[in-house]
Amino acid sequence: MSPLLRLLGRGAVAGAIAGLLSAVVSFLLGEPSVRRAIELEEAAAHAAGDAEHAEVFSRTTQQGALFLVSMLTGLALGILFALVYALRQQRDPDADAWRRSLLLAVAGLVGIALIPFLRYPANPPAVGDPATVDARTTAYLASILIGVAAVTAAVQLHRRLTDHGVRPPLRQLATLGVVVVGLASTWLLPDNADVIEVPADLIWDFRLASIATLLVLWLGLGAIFGLLGERAERGVASEDRATPAPG
């Protein structure tokens, strides 16, 4: 098997496991907020005299789908993670697998998860006008693109400053500055115009659960991928020691 296929397989396994772990966190921390939001939505519809609609899928089925979708999402994310990892490995093949995996996971967490989340925090099911779904989705995808661009620029700047011998504190401050500018630029995107009519504590409980889910997904992916990488490196080292030198 080629090294790239091994990396992709490692990424798929790490991503699937991280996805399942994030689903557990989402279920344990987020499910109470989701259930409460649904109850408030149903109560408001009943008070307005709207006819009740039968559920297409039961909550049990939806909860099971959460685990399946999270696993598949993590698997796809893990494959993409492995591809980016492979590109970085080509530039520096001797770098430590554990450290590289964690740094890449942190970069993905900041660019793809945290920057968009800070601009457009997650809301429970009872919040959001169906008519604005397309606009909200477009704005959120734009925030992801800005986040990825900001993190990529920060990494490139850090590398160049390192090559020029700039002291670590200055490198780190400059890198942080680029990320902050990227975050600030997301406020050029349109605001979410949906009216929030659910209790504030419900909103923030759901958002904290969402951010915990993202942390587990990304850091779990980086940690599992790094551990698998270290295991693979130990296996290669053992084979090299066991191989007799040509006589």
Per-residue pLDDT tens digits for 191-212: 887 777 778 888 889 999 999 9
Rounded Cα–Cα distance for residues 121 and 106 (Å):
19
In a domain, 35, yes or no: yes
In a domain, 136, yes or no: no
Q: Which long-range contacts (CB under 8 A, 24 or more apart) does 71-74 make?
A: 71/16, 71/19, 71/20, 71/23, 72/16, 72/19, 73/19, 74/15, 74/16, 74/17, 74/18, 74/19, 74/20, 74/22, 74/217, 74/221
Mean pLDDT for 14-25 is 96
In a domain, 146, yes or no: no
In a domain, 185, yes or no: no
Buried b / exposed e across 107-126, counting CB within 10 Å, b at 16+? bbbbbbbbbbbebbebbbeb
Taking phi over 0 as left and psi of -120 to 50 as alpha, with beta for the rest, 199 belongs to beta
In a domain, 157, yes or no: no
Instruction: Provide the domain limits for residue 77.
Output: 3-127+196-242
pLDDT tens digits, one per residue of 155-190: 999 999 999 999 999 999 999 999 999 999 999 999
**Which one is predicted more confidently, 57 or 204?**
204
In a domain, 53, yes or no: yes
Q: How many Å from the N-terminal Cα to the C-terminal Cα in the chain?
A: 28
In a domain, 86, yes or no: yes
The total number of structural domains that make up the chain: 1
In a domain, 230, yes or no: yes
pTM of the model: 0.86
